[in-house]
């Protein structure tokens, strides 16, 4: 028996079998049930989302021997012949291979004649945007005044190339790309029906690689089953697709979270040994960062269907939301710029180094030594580092309030970095005793409430005070400003002064008066 590929074997034959596109199905079903039938339908959307499949089901619904219905029987001769592609009154045309006006005129010569067997003569024109302008003109008259026994079903991946005169004469249905979850569910059902053993992670890889196309998903599934010898395993699918091992992405993010440049480059070197597509590697990194950000914002978002849930939750606790957002943005821009670099690996490494260079280390109040305060004087805030416009950084604290300033100065002298620094800089000092220190961390930074970080901070404080003491960090309402908040206040103040200085500059005023120049406040940033 001849093998039938999964994409054809599992092609839907009724509206109820279709996966997704409910907005299109609802309109078509209601139109069929109420006998409100237009003469021309245009189905648009990317490849493999169901355009021609829906058109063929619609052709069955119009010509089923039981009558015009939204649920064709599938057993009558008309339904069977349409499924088998041999129904004489369903004329399927690939416009990509018949672009000449002569082809279109020949096609339309028999429009005026009644259907041979069916209720309607149906013209299904695939990739209709490939027709020439003369062909569209030839088609236009028939679309404008079609005989009552003719229906046109047009499909295209590029509706913008269709003349507006054609678009205005069709009911247009835009088919959407299918979400990964829906594709994964359908692929899982197909595997069960085909009695194929599969890993959940392998199915997820297939769903992601399909990029919204169910047909592509089933084609990849066919290939993966053949590659795996009748089974679907994650390692085999990764090798087949050329995707990188997720564990390497997690290792890379661990090194980035720790601010370890040497370790980050070492991970990149191990990744390069597999000769990956570095654009895909960046895409995998960005995708993982997205899920980490989701878990940080909504802790319960990590469902049981995430095969790497534990790793994502762990990284969400280990990385600050600011770092995650920054890495995500740098990764996106880096992927866009990757084709322009002379060497893909060096471009990939530069993206990683850029993440480390621009991470909010400027906000480390310990990064710069804070001058000691002599008796009777106010503490002196460290000088903020200059940064380019658009760079995201936490500023050094401005000393304004006694308790908050005291804690900012202490943190500035501890010599801590990384996530321990983030913990300290986002706390306020509630109470200081000879043998204990009590800090309060805001609820928005609960991801920093970590025993390991607190132990390292406690050790740093013991070294600073040169005495044993116990550190207690609680989640609660903060009664004063944290070092990070003080830094932000100072940053806003400096920004305001910079804008005022520009607006008050005589040269700038002259440019405004003579040339009508305008000041863009967001483009101004203070410099030392």
Question: In the 3-class helix/strand/coil scheme, how is 337-395 assigned residue by residue?
Answer: HHHHCCCHHHHHHHHHHHHHHHCHHHHCCCCCCCCCCCCCCCCCCCCCCCCCCCCCCCC
Provide the b/e sequence for 92-120 (b: ≥16 CB within 10 Å). Answer: bbebeebeebebbeebbeeeeeebeebbb
- The Cα 477–Cα 454 span in angstroms is 19
**In the structure encoding, which two tokens stand for residue 386, read together?**
């200059």
pLDDT at 388: 42
Write the CA distances from 163 to 46, 52, 106, 136, 503, integer angstroms: 19, 21, 21, 8, 51
Count of beta carbons in the 10 Å neighbourhood of residue 411: 27
Residue 353 pLDDT:
93
* pLDDT tens for each residue of the chain, 528 residues long: 578 899 999 999 999 999 889 999 999 999 999 999 999 999 999 999 999 999 999 999 999 999 999 999 999 999 999 999 899 999 998 888 877 788 788 888 888 889 998 899 999 999 999 988 888 888 888 888 889 999 999 999 999 999 999 999 999 999 999 998 899 999 999 999 999 999 888 998 899 889 899 999 999 999 999 998 989 998 889 888 877 778 889 999 999 998 899 999 999 999 888 878 899 899 989 999 999 999 999 887 776 667 778 888 889 988 889 899 999 999 999 999 998 988 999 999 999 999 998 887 543 433 333 333 333 333 333 333 344 443 333 353 333 334 567 888 888 888 888 888 899 999 999 888 878 899 999 988 888 888 888 999 999 998 888 888 899 999 998 888 898 888 888 888 888 888 888 888 888 887 888 777 888 877 777 765
Q: Give the burial class of 249: count Cβ atoms within 10 A of its Cβ; 0-12 exposed, 13-18 middle, 19 or more buried.
A: buried
Helix ranges, 46-163 (H):
51-63, 77-83, 101-108, 133-144
Rounded-to-integer distance, Cα 294 and Cα 446, Å: 15
What is the pairing mode between strands 121-126 and 90-94?
parallel
Residue 142's pLDDT is: 87
Residue among 39, 45, 54, 214 nearest 127 (CA): 45
Q: What is the distance between the alpha carbons of residues 361 and 396, in angstroms, rounded to a whole number?
A: 10
pLDDT (0 to 100) of residue 273: 86
> What is residue 424's predicted lDDT score, i.e. its pLDDT?
92
E strand or H helix at 165: helix 164-167
pLDDT at 171: 93
List of domains in the chain: 6-174 (3.40.50.300), 180-241 (1.10.8.60), 246-358 (1.20.272.10), 367-486 (3.30.300.150)
CA dihedral 306, 307, 311, 316 (to 10 degrees): -10
Given this model, what pLDDT does residue 403 score? 55
Task: Give the pLDDT score at 497.
Answer: 86
Contact partners, residue 513, CB within 8 Å, separation at least 6:
none
Q: Is the CB of residue 428 less than 8 Å from the CB of residue 404?
A: yes
Pairing of strands 436-441, 427-433: antiparallel
Termini Cα distance of the chain: 79
* Sequence-distant (≥ 6) Cβ neighbours of residue 501 within 8 angstroms: none
User: Residue 376's pLDDT is what?
Assistant: 35
Q: What is the pLDDT of residue 190?
A: 94
The answer to whether the CB of 216 falls within 8 A of the CB of 278 is: no
Q: What is the pLDDT of residue 365?
A: 34
CA triplet 335, 336, 339: central angle to 5 degrees? 85
pLDDT of residue 29: 94
Residue 305 has what pLDDT?
Answer: 64
Q: Name the token pair of 120.
A: 């309607």
Backbone angles phi, psi at 177, to 5 degrees: -65, 140
pLDDT at res. 409: 84
Q: Which residues, other chains included, contact 495 with Cβ-Cβ below 8 Å and sequence gap of 6+?
A: 524, 525, 526
| Structure tokens that stand for 393 in this block | 């950084």
Query: Per the structure block, which two tokens stand in for 498?
Result: 């910079």
Spatial contact of 267 and 351, defined as CB atoms under 8 Å apart: no
The CB density around residue 345, as the number of other CB atoms within 10 Å, is 16
Strand partners, 432: 437
Q: What is the DSSP string of 462-519?
A: HHHHTS--EEEEEES--SS--HHHHHHHHHHHHHHHHHHHHHH-HHHHHHHHHH----
């Amino acid at each position: 028996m001849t093998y039938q590929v999964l994409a054809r074997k599992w092609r839907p034959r009724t509206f109820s079998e279709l996966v997704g596109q409910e907005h299109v199905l609802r309109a078509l079903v209601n139109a069929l049930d109420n006998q409100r039938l237009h003469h021309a339908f245009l189905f648009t959307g990317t490849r493999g989302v169901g355009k021609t499949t829906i058109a063929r089901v619609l052709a069955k619904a119009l010509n089923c021997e039981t009558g015009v219905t939204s649920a064709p029987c599938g057993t009558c001769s008309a339904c069977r012949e349409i499924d088998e592609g041999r129904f004489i009154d369903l004329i399927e045309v690939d416009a990509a291979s018949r672009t000449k006006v002569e082809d279109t005129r020949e096609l339309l010569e028999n429009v005026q004649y009644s259907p041979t067997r069916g209720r309607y003569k149906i013209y299904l024109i695939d990739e209709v945007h490939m027709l020439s302008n003369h062909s569209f003109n030839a088609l236009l008259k028939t679309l404008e005044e079609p005989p009552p026994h003719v229906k046109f079903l047009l499909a295209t991946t590029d509706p913008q190339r269709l003349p507006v005169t054609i678009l205005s004469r069709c009911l247009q249905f835009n088919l959407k790309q299918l979400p990964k979850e829906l594709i994964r569910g359908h692929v899982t059902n197909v595997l069960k029906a085909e009695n194929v053993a599969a890993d959940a992670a392998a199915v997820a890889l297939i769903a992601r690689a399909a990029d919204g196309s169910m047909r592509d998903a089933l084609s990849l599934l066919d290939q993966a089953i053949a590659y795996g010898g009748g089974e679907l395993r994650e390692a085999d699918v990764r090798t087949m697709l050329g995707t990188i091992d997720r564990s390497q992405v997690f290792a890379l993010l661990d090194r980035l979270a720790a601010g370890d440049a040497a370790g980050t480059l070492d991970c990149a070197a191990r990744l390069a040994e597999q000769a990956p597509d570095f654009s895909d590697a960046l895409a995998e990194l960005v995708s993982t960062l997205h899920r980490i950000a989701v878990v940080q914002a909504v802790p319960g978002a990590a469902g049981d269907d995430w095969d790497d849930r534990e790793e994502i939750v762990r990284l969400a606790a280990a990385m600050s939301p600011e770092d995650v957002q920054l890495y995500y943005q740098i990764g996106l821009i880096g992927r866009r710029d990757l084709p322009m670099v002379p060497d893909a690996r060096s471009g990939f490494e530069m993206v990683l180094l850029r993440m480390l260079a621009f991470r909010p280390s400027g906000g480390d109040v310990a990064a710069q030594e804070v001058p000691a305060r002599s008796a009777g004087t106010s503490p002196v805030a460290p000088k903020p580092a200059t940064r380019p416009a658009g760079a995201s950084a936490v500023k050094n604290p401005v000393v304004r309030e006694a308790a908050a300033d005291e804690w900012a100065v202490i943190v500035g002298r501890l010599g801590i970095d990384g996530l321990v620094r983030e913990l300290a800089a986002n706390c306020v000092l509630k109470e200081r005793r000879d043998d204990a220190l009590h800090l309060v961390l805001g609820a928005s930074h609960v991801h920093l409430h970590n025993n390991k970080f607190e132990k390292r901070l406690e050790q740093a404080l013991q070294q600073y005070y040169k005495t044993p003491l116990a550190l207690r960090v609680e989640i609660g309402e903060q009664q004063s400003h944290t070092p990070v908040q003080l830094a932000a206040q100072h940053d806003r103040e400096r920004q305001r002064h910079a804008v005022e200085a520009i607006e008050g500059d005589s040269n700038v005023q002259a440019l405004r008066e003579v040339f009508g120049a305008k000041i863009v406040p967001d483009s101004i940033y203070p410099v030392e």
